Amino acid sequence: ETGVTQTPRHLVMGMTNKKSLKCEQHLGHNAMYWYKQSAKKPLELMFVYSLEERVENNSVPSRFSPECPNSSHLFLHLHTLQPEDSALYLCASSQDRGTGGQPQHFGDGTRLSIL
Amino acid sequence: GQNIDQPTEMTATEGAIVQINCTYQTSGFNGLFWYQQHAGEAPTFLSYNVLDGLEEKGRFSSFLSRSKGYSYLLLKELQMKDSASYLCAVMDSNYQLIWGAGTKLIIKP
């Protein structure tokens, strides 16, 4: 098993659809993250969970809704998305949040395209 | 505001040495990370610097000067598989990672 697994790898959806992205980590970490990666732009932090509680929401539109049912799983529920939401969505985990020196471990991402 | 600057693209020759620079302005500093990301793949952790100086890991080394807000990643004996994007990220006072846009490194035979 790889450390952080994301499904699906690719997703094409219309603006009126509802879909969910899934992330699972097998590293025993306590913190999980959602990032958006657009071409030639820095990674944008969307949500942070620590011990299953959301600790940060970086002003993300409500059409993105995260869910963290346990420390190993993280979901990103999508509805009524816009074309500018097309991007690579990366999930990451780290041992803890709020401690320096701990690297984040990333999944391969979901490539999302909005028609 | 917080800002991380790194070159957009660099080209180097197989077997040579390349230095990728990163300058930063952040609210506080709790360390600097370098990641490698091959196209279509996950970013993978390369190095972490929190004190000034050079950290060496095999063919890769990373340097930090906190007073100058500056870091570099040094890649020696370049191989074709080193063709990738290299991401610089600084952990700020809230322990949040602030990312640069990445440097795409192209290795030519």
Write the residue in B48, B50, B99 that is nearest to A42 by C-beta: B99
Write the residue in B31, B42, B98 that is nearest to A107 by C-beta: B42
Do B45 and A104 lie within an 8 Å CB cutoff? yes
C-alpha to C-alpha distance for A19 and A80, rounded to whole angstroms: 10
pLDDT at A1: 53
φ, ψ of residue A93 to 5 degrees: the values are -140, 155
B18-39 pLDDT, tens digit per residue, is: 999 999 999 999 999 999 999 9
pLDDT at A92: 97
pLDDT at A101: 81
Locate tokens 């990032």: which residue? A35
3-state SS assignment for residue B81: helix
Do A106 and B43 lie within an 8 Å CB cutoff? yes
Q: Which residue of A has its CA nearest to B7?
A: A40
A53-57/B97-99 β-pairing:
unpaired
Query: With an 8 Å Cβ cutoff, is A10 touching chain B?
Result: no
Residues of A in contact with B103 (CB under 8 A): none
Mean pLDDT over B78-98 rounds to 95
User: How far B103 CA lies from chain A's nearest CA (Å)?
Assistant: 9
**Res B1 pLDDT > 80:** no
Q: Which of A7, A29, A104, A108 to mutate to test the interface with B (most CBs of B within 10 A)?
A: A104
Amino acid at A24: E
A23-52 pLDDT, tens digit per residue, is: 999 999 999 999 999 998 999 999 999 988
C-alpha to C-alpha distance for A95 and B78, rounded to whole angstroms: 32
pLDDT at A13: 92
C-alpha to C-alpha distance for A2 and B47, rounded to whole angstroms: 20
Q: Chain A, 56-75: which have a CB under 8 Å from a chain B CB?
A: 56
Do B30 and A109 lie within an 8 Å CB cutoff? no
**Res A2 pLDDT > 80:** no
C-alpha to C-alpha distance for A102 and A105, rounded to whole angstroms: 9
